[in-house]
């Protein structure tokens, strides 16, 4: 059975701040670490802003990866528009993580080979 998080009870009608995202993240993270399912209920939510998405979904993506998030976190009572916005956010964040990881890998290769940027 999945843990059902009613966002309106946790953060009110607006999922807007980093603190709001942190509250929800603190509820989701332990469940996912145990391999359990989580259900986010957006009923009564009037506004979802990027700081909330960054702290909650961005952190989840970084900690657990896209596949686990998509298979273990479900959303109820969301509009198609909000669901699309969350999916677009996750896609964008995943791309940022991949680019960051690629840059780090290249930097490590350059560091190992003694290659450095130089003024020509």
pLDDT in tens, 69-96: 999 999 999 999 999 999 899 889 888 8
Query: Is the CB of residue 46 less than 8 Å from the CB of residue 79?
Result: no
pLDDT, one tens digit per residue, over 13-58 is 999 999 999 999 999 999 999 999 999 999 999 999 999 999 999 9
Instruction: Compare 108 and 120 and report the one with higher pLDDT.
Output: 108
Instruction: Inform me whether the pLDDT recorded for 102 exceeds 70.
Output: no
Identify the burial level of 9 via C-beta atoms within 10 angstroms of its C-beta, where 0-12 means exposed, 13-18 middle and 19 or more buried. Answer: exposed
pTM confidence score: 0.77
Write down the residue that tokens 């976190």 correspond to: 73
Tokens representing residue 95 in the block: 């791309």
Q: Please state the separation of Cα 102 from the chain's center in Å.
A: 20
Tokens of residue 94, six digits: 């995943």
């Amino acid at each position: 059975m999945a843990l059902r998080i009613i966002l309106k009870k946790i953060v009110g009608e607006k999922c807007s701040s980093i603190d709001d995202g942190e509250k929800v993240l603190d509820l989701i993270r332990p469940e996912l670490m145990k391999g359990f399912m989580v259900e986010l209920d957006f009923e009564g939510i009037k506004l979802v802003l990027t700081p909330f998405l960054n702290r909650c979904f961005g952190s989840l993506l970084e900690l657990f990866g896209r596949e686990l998030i998509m298979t273990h976190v479900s959303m109820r009572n969301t509009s198609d528009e909000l669901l699309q916005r969350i999916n677009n956010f996750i896609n964008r964040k995943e791309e940022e993580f991949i680019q960051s990881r690629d840059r780090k890998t290249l930097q490590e290769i350059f560091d190992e080979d003694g290659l450095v940027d130089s003024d020509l």
